[in-house]
Amino acid sequence: MALQGIEVEGIIIKEYPAKEGVSNRTGNAWKSQEFVIQTKDQYPRACLFRVFGADKLEQFNIHQGDSVHVWLDINARAWQDRYFNDISAFRVDHVDPNAMGAQSQPAAAPAQGMAQAPTAADPMAGTSDGTDDLPF
């Protein structure tokens, strides 16, 4: 089974400074930059990913606050008998934030419904004892 690219849509909430250097093995120059994307779900998730290569950094043109759709490759690398995930973007599309807001609008609706009276379809809506309001 091969891992296929994973797609994430959200907002870039953190842009780290670019790092660059020269490979000891090949002698070629390299450039890399890390970003954190956060989904706009009811329970937002964040993911740190890397863009490797000056050409891809220029092509993707990612900055903090951008709404983007990112395709990610995930690979684990061993180091001192431990594994570490390497999450790299191989495609980035900029998204119209108004369009993304319209898609995430239904996800916010249940949170607003909690203040309303219970209905037959959802007898737990409006309860305030806090026992069943966790997502897990």
* Residue pLDDT, tens place only, 120-133: 444 444 444 445 45
Give the model's confidence band at 34: pLDDT under 50 very low, under 70 low, under 90 confident, else very high: very high
The pTM assigned to this predicted structure is 0.68
Q: Residue 96: pLDDT band by 50, 70, 90 thresholds? A: confident
Q: pLDDT at position 97, please?
A: 74
Q: What is the mean pLDDT of residues 81-85?
A: 94
Distances in whole angstroms, Cα of residue 129 to Cα of each of 108, 113, 118, 122: 21, 16, 14, 16
- For the chain, the helix, strand and coil percentages under 3-state DSSP, each to the nearest 5: 20, 40, 40
